[in-house]
Structure 1
Amino acid sequence: MRIRTEVRVEGTVQGVGFRPFVHGLATGLGLAGHVGNDARGVFIEVEGDAGSVERFLSGLRRPPPLAVVERISTRVLAPGGRTGFAIVGSDATGRLGALVSADSATCDDCLRELRDPADRRYGYPFVNCTDCGPRFTIVAGVPYDRPNTTMAGFAMCSACAAEYHDPADRRFHAQPVCCPACGPRVALLDGDRRTLPGEPIEAARALLESGRILAVKGLGGYHLAATAADEDAVAALRSRKHREDKPFAVLAPDLPTARGLGAVNTGEEALLTSRARPIVLLRRHQDAPLAAAVAPGNRSIGVLLPYSPLHHLLATGPLVLTSGNVSDEPIAYRDEDAFARLRTIADAFLTHDRPIHVRTDDSVTRVFRGREMPVRRSRGHVPAPLPLPPGGPPVLACGAEQKNTFCLAEDGRAFVSHHVGDLENYETLRAFGEGVEHFGRLFGITPKVIAHDLHPEYLSTKYALERDLPLVGVQHHHAHIAACLAENAWYDPVIGVAFDGTGYGTDGTLWGGEFLVADLIGFERAGHLRPVPLPGGATAIREPWRMAAAYGVPAQTDVARRNAARWDDVVAVAGRGLGSPPTSSAGRLFDAVAAVLGVRDRVNYEGQAAVELEQRADPAERGAYPVRLDDGSPFTVAGADLVAAVVADLRAGEEVPVIAARFHNAVAGLVVAGAVRLRATTGLTTVALSGGVFQNLLLLERAVTGLEAEGFGVLVHHRVPPNDGGISLGQAAIASAGAATRAAGPGPR
């Protein structure tokens, strides 16, 4: 029997070779009809034998590598006697809803062409096809067609056009298709934009080998590159960039080279070689051929493999590859801005003439128990949506101040943005606003509600308050737990443990060591670290020794002697509470212990003291300091008891790695003890762990192991970071769930 069926496919089905895939599937089954893009996804009509149509619909569930099929809907039509199958023009009308693919690393087929002297794309740094290449960073609008990308200015030559229109070619309807005859071109320039002699990539490699620093235009912005084994070059890069200690990432040309830099397990190999190609944090080999200035004093190293043809051509050995910016500024992605800001850092610029539409930093990730745990979710992952419960109005969630992301959510989809950065200057705030507008246009979301952090001085909060829309204020640590729930699709109440550096509490104090009983609708603060003064406010975050003073460390200790000139004054200020807001921060507790143990009195980047304390800890040590929960409601725990135990062990002559490990084990024990206490009063048996402190894998492993031994189910992060980069997802989930609940009226949830 002959039938005709209208099909609509929604999901990530544009810019991923889906229409050519449909064309091949339909023609292979002898079906007539057409396929095209529109504002919502892909529309199809097929006509032919009923069995063939059924096989066609089943085949749609096995899409090309970059495609994600979320929904297929069908409608039966009257047969029309059509013959032939065609890809038809796109329909740009209607409500937007089509998804855009993330940028994808160069595929094996394109790499073979890149390395084949007989191929017309040999050595061409922009080779791509339907299975790989730039997507999100070049898209200006949907439907995803060449005129809506930054490739619009490059007219295809006859050879590329032939590939583009050939159903048998893997570049059939590949929108960024190009070649040396018609596509973008690379150039090597000095700081005054004058062309330097030689073939650009060969000359760039020679500059790197001679110890020069290079600005390199990538997919989502400019990087700064130097030879990773060159002490002078890396030290110069660190000095010019004003980045004192924070580790640099290293681009390894291939997986064997990456294995020579750090230990690579199965999960880490999968991430390194994935299409997303993130920076993966590895345990560094002591004899890795790297300059000491790459990651000073750090036992880990961030490694990534090439994800663009340009990287494959440039990297013949390990290269430092760090964001193209001065410390604390957003990454440069427009050429004019890059030359203005980076000319005092870079000796030359390896650039090209394909515009970048959206600045996008590299993603950073690590492996926990065989699964990914993002530290920064950006290129390669964004803008893939995350699921939310259906219902509720369109929401804009503005995120936090540090590690900012924003989130636009509607119809059960949450679009968490690329990494914006710390909202501490005008440039980053402008990038935030531009990103919100772009996401709104791209996904057709006009927010009806804005969710924001409670902190009145966050620029993200001020942005929200300036919009003429209903507001939903979301407590910082509730947002952390909600993000963990949302990404795990868990919507029942949990015991939430949110440990981080700082978050504005509902009582106006600074929280950060919190036990919550929470779901997406609300929360109760059920326990916390006992507040201590934050002497000097933000200064104490930059100078962890102040937290040692705040925690009552005696003056007859090394940390007090090292800071004797100001110790008594800080103790006095903390005692009077003058300029010393109370905080329950777990991050500041780690700072205090790091200072006591001589790990770090002052930090040059956020969380440095805690990072280095984790690295000093002996993983073989199983001893732990005792923790005691008081009988209050909410209960409190005196962090000062742990600090005193650390001081006592240090005075007794215990080694720092042993003490650091006992402290970590004690904090893990605190997590377990708090959960056990709350299970007794609530009956809850699931714990969600969130907040930047849980990026500490030693603490996370000990806490999860202890909770599981007590019979708890444990939720951790695998899709958004546990740090403030996940806050916007939590805000969006809370705002959406709250609005949906209010709309549903009274009754059980």
Structure 2
Amino acid sequence: MTGPGPGGPVTEAVRRRVTVRGVVQGVGFRPFVHTLATGLGLAGHVTNTAEGVIVEVEGAGRTVALFCDRLATDAPPLALVESVDHHELAPDGGSGFAILASREGGAAATLVSPDVATCADCLAELADPADRRYRHPFITCTNCGPRCTIVVGLPYDREHTTMARFPMCPACAAEYTDPGDRRFHAQPVACHDCGPRLRLLLPPTDDGPAPPSPADPVAAARQLLRSGRVLAVKGLGGYHLACDATDPVAVALLRRRKNRGDKPFALMARDLAEIDRLAGTGPEERALLSGPVRPIVLLRKRADGSSELPGVAPGSPDLGFMLPYTPLHHLLLGLPGDPEGPRLLVLTSGNLSGEPIVTDDAEALERLAHLADGWLTHDRPIHVPCDDSVVRVCDGELLTLRRSRGYAPLPLPLPLPVRPALAVGGDLKNTFCLGAGRRAWLSAHIGDMDDLATQHAFARAEQQVEAVTGVRPGLLAADLHPRYRSGQWAERHRGGRPLVRVQHHHAHVASAMAEHGLDGGRRVIGVAFDGTGFGEDGAVWGGEFLLADYQGFLRFAHLAYAPLPGGDAAVRRPYRVALARLWAAGIAWDPRLPCVAACAADEQRLLARQLERNLNCVPTSGMGRLFDAVSSLAGVCHLAGYEAQAAIELEAAALAAPADDGPGYRFALRPAPADRPDAPPSAAPLTADPAPVLAAVGADVLAGTPAALIAARFHAAVAELVHRTCLLARERHGLDTVALTGGVFANTLLSSACAAALRTDGFTVLRHHLVPPNDGGLALGQLAVAGRTVPE
């Protein structure tokens, strides 16, 4: 700050122009400024601009200084004040304090607030028959409701949101202009009279046209859900598909229509008590479930409770729960005194698996027609798509698996400044990252880029983030893979700008470094475990130990290569991965092994010929693929209907294992052959050979050892490999910071075991919290690498 401090003149009037930047629009900041100024007896005015909130304030010097201090310390709960800058003006002797109309123009420098769950005050009004907003599906105030999903421009005013089409009724307008009201300058303010309005749309019947929307759409929707129907429900950031989670027929119907395989569904419960019956919650999980973000929280199933939901998450150790975060959700689950309805809802993204979430009403009627039996919709447009965030708690700390609603578009701080750049991420779980200076805007979850609709959604989202941030990237960054659609998009749109290709696992490690604020002055041991990432040698990497900083990396060690026969076809059939790993390890295909029994004799002959002749067999070091192989070898999962299914079910088996004092498994860790005969042994990366582990697993299977014990022993072996390899890296290179990253570390059993062993030996361990360890966090690492390695 500049200007005189609290010790300045007491009676002499001063005037200051104050600029407040951060999340200060859409969070009640101008009403807060008005209340603070009038309470201190100060004159002046406040307005929104693209640059931030601008205040001119006049009064006694000490009082003005106190006002400037309290702008940050007493800000509204949803505000995030990043800076308060001010300079002196000549006093003009004015009186009173006013909120002025927002000013257009200027470079965007303010931050858009995420959408926020309905607050307790609004919920009380929603359930109060005496309140004029009783049962209003869009009740909101300054402290809650939609924000980023309705913003079309800055500054944040009603005319720059999708609420612009709804003129306020006199009662709402009076609240909006009353400094003492909770809805003072609440841009989404609405009521039954001024809209938005809810409708229940049903398809035509065999006997005639579609029936009209009922007078009470919510009551009719609740009845349809109770009778086993699937409904498309328009939420804050897109359409959901909903059904009664306690109705196995309805759940199976939705699973079949959505082509979802056995992938778990997310659940919405009325309250925490309902969740506690079915899953274990600690204080951290309860705070996440009931806080303003309301993400999907993955919770361990209770053995005595989750059996009543057999079709929701088959094979998974977890149930994904969230609590209602919009008034409509509360109404669907029922207010006190409502007729009986579903107490638990499946609430999953409104799309086919792999496609982006549907936001447009006309598109919803077309694309969801074969998925839903009706549409509970409304006439407030969604400008910015935003899926639900997914998180879990690991060792008492937040682990974000999908960063979207409630978190995006808040920026992440960068430890070092970067030039204006756009990193386009990967092709699975795509997010992009826009950065400049010390800020990085990681987008909401986009989806898998193999779908054309997802690519269009990516382009629209990228344009929107550029518009609200004012960042114009002069540099692009993409994955090293030549066939990634994200990288192809970057090639098409570079327009003469530099395009930096960043190796996949280097980006993972850099993402963890950036999240933890490492300034690049030292290297870390990056343990990057996932299923697939294009390597510098053309192989598929994924079991990597890198010595890395933002400038580059050295491959210290990796999982031994094995052929991946048929690429994606093998990923969908883990028994093929298992047979390929056994073949690479020189282990016979004993017909008593489950993975061998799962493969038909004809397919075995073809697969053996393919491996012998090396036909369409790309070498892979992917740790995720090794999890797939062991899952099938142990008889846990032979066919994967969704990404990482075999690994998830292997983790579930390990969690069910009893205490074990039997023999453990151990990888062989040996030097790889050097490229040159005269090269020292340390020049080539170490190779972690799983052959001894696979042999021990096979022996245990043939001896009748339960799959749960095999799974637990395998997890322990991987954790021991991480510990042993990091000890060698420290011994040879003097590094003592380890970053655990990549999608495999969404496995909390493995993550916790690795971190505990490393910390016992004095390592500093970096694990992801706010940024996903999977490919959803890749773009942040790409930005950190490209923005630092390419000069201005």
Task: Check whether TM > 0.5.
Answer: yes
Q: Is 1:150 matched with 2:162?
A: yes
Residues 540-594 of structure 1 deviation map (CA, whole Å, 9 limit, x = unaligned): 1111111111112422123212214212321331232210000110000001100
Residues 607-654 of structure 1 deviation map (CA, whole Å, 9 limit, x = unaligned): 000000000012744763122321342111102222112112222222
Q: Is 1:315 matched with 2:333?
A: yes
Which residue of the partner structure matches residue 675 of structure 1? 726
1:71 pairs with 80, 83, 88, which one? Answer: 83
Q: 1:30 and 1:701 mapped to 2: Cα distance?
A: 55
1:475 pairs with 490, 503, 507, which one? Answer: 503
Q: 2:263 and 2:78 mapped to 1: Cα distance?
A: 34
* Contact in 2 for aligned 1:554/1:560 (Cα 8 Å): no
Report the TM-score when normalising by structure 2. 0.92
Residues 204-235 of structure 1 deviation map (CA, whole Å, 9 limit, x = unaligned): 11111111111100001111111111111111
Q: 1:530 and 1:432 mapped to 2: Cα distance?
A: 36
Q: Is 1:230 matched with 2:230?
A: no
Does the residue aligned with 1:466 lie in a helix, a strand or coil? helix
Q: 1:159 and 1:206 mapped to 2: Cα distance?
A: 33
Which residue of the partner structure matches residue 595 of structure 2? 559
Q: Is 1:489 matched with 2:529?
A: no
* Contact in 2 for aligned 1:191/1:339 (Cα 8 Å): no
Deviation, 1:294, is 1.1
* Contact in 2 for aligned 1:115/1:122 (Cα 8 Å): yes
- For residues 166-315 of structure 1, the aligned pairs below 5 Å read 166-191=178-203, 194-286=211-303, 287-288=305-306, 290-315=308-333
Q: 1:133 to 1:674 in 2, by over 3 A?
A: same
Deviation, 1:390, is 4.2
Which residue of the partner structure matches residue 686 of structure 2? 635
Residue 37 of structure 1 aligns with an amino acid whose one-letter code is N
Q: 1:117 and 1:610 mapped to 2: Cα distance?
A: 50
Which residue of the partner structure matches residue 747 of structure 1? none
Q: 1:345 and 1:275 mapped to 2: Cα distance?
A: 31
Which residue of the partner structure matches residue 417 of structure 2? 391
Report the TM-score when normalising by structure 1. 0.97
Does the residue aligned with 2:203 lie in a helix, a strand or coil? coil
Which residue of the partner structure matches residue 343 of structure 1? 369
* Contact in 2 for aligned 1:130/1:172 (Cα 8 Å): yes
Residue 701 of structure 2 aligns with an amino acid whose one-letter code is L
Which residue of the partner structure matches residue 742 of structure 2? 691
Residue 666 of structure 2 aligns with an amino acid whose one-letter code is P
Residues 61-98 of structure 1 deviation map (CA, whole Å, 9 limit, x = unaligned): 22111110011111122222121111111112111111
Residue 718 of structure 2 aligns with an amino acid whose one-letter code is V
Q: Is 1:418 matched with 2:444?
A: yes
* Contact in 1 for aligned 2:401/2:746 (Cα 8 Å): yes
Q: Is 1:370 matched with 2:370?
A: no
2:569 pairs with 539, 545, 565, which one? Answer: 539
Which residue of the partner structure matches residue 723 of structure 1? 774
Q: 1:247 and 1:392 mapped to 2: Cα distance?
A: 39
Which residue of the partner structure matches residue 137 of structure 2? 125
Q: 1:579 to 1:272 in 2, by over 3 A?
A: same
Residue 528 of structure 1 aligns with an amino acid whose one-letter code is H
Residue 34 of structure 2 aligns with an amino acid whose one-letter code is H
Identity score, percent? 53
Q: 2:196 and 2:377 mapped to 1: Cα distance?
A: 10
Q: 2:158 and 2:275 mapped to 1: Cα distance?
A: 36
Residues 132-180 of structure 1 deviation map (CA, whole Å, 9 limit, x = unaligned): 0000110011111111100000000111010000000111111001111
Q: Is 1:463 matched with 2:486?
A: no
Residue 53 of structure 2 aligns with an amino acid whose one-letter code is V
* Contact in 2 for aligned 1:230/1:290 (Cα 8 Å): no
Does the residue aligned with 2:267 lie in a helix, a strand or coil? strand
Q: 1:521 and 1:175 mapped to 2: Cα distance?
A: 45
Deviation, 1:703, is 0.3
* Contact in 2 for aligned 1:229/1:289 (Cα 8 Å): no
Give the aligned length: 741
Q: Is 1:711 matched with 2:751?
A: no
Q: 1:261 and 1:195 mapped to 2: Cα distance?
A: 38
Q: Is 1:111 matched with 2:123?
A: yes
Task: Please say which of residues 349-358 and 568-577 is displaced more in the overlay.
Answer: 568-577
Does the residue aligned with 1:719 lie in a helix, a strand or coil? coil
Which residue of the partner structure matches residue 9 of structure 2? none
Q: 2:158 and 2:660 mapped to 1: Cα distance?
A: 58
Q: Is 1:20 matched with 2:31?
A: yes
Q: 1:391 and 1:695 mapped to 2: Cα distance?
A: 29
Residue 629 of structure 2 aligns with an amino acid whose one-letter code is A
Deviation, 1:315, is 1.2
- For residues 576-587 of structure 1, the aligned pairs below 5 Å read 576-587=613-624
Q: 1:227 and 1:169 mapped to 2: Cα distance?
A: 39
Q: 1:563 and 1:141 mapped to 2: Cα distance?
A: 56
* Contact in 2 for aligned 1:555/1:561 (Cα 8 Å): no
Which residue of the partner structure matches residue 83 of structure 1? 95
Q: 1:292 and 1:125 mapped to 2: Cα distance?
A: 32
Which residue of the partner structure matches residue 535 of structure 2? 505
* Contact in 1 for aligned 2:543/2:622 (Cα 8 Å): yes
Q: 2:710 and 2:765 mapped to 1: Cα distance?
A: 27
* Contact in 1 for aligned 2:317/2:651 (Cα 8 Å): no
1:530 pairs with 556, 560, 565, which one? Answer: 560
Does the residue aligned with 2:617 lie in a helix, a strand or coil? coil
* Contact in 1 for aligned 2:528/2:542 (Cα 8 Å): yes
Deviation, 1:366, is 0.2
Deviation, 1:194, is 4.6
* Contact in 2 for aligned 1:619/1:698 (Cα 8 Å): no
Q: 1:251 and 1:315 mapped to 2: Cα distance?
A: 9
Q: Is 1:594 matched with 2:612?
A: no
Which consecutive unaligned segments of at least 5 residues does structure 1 have?
744-749
Q: 2:385 and 2:418 mapped to 1: Cα distance?
A: 30
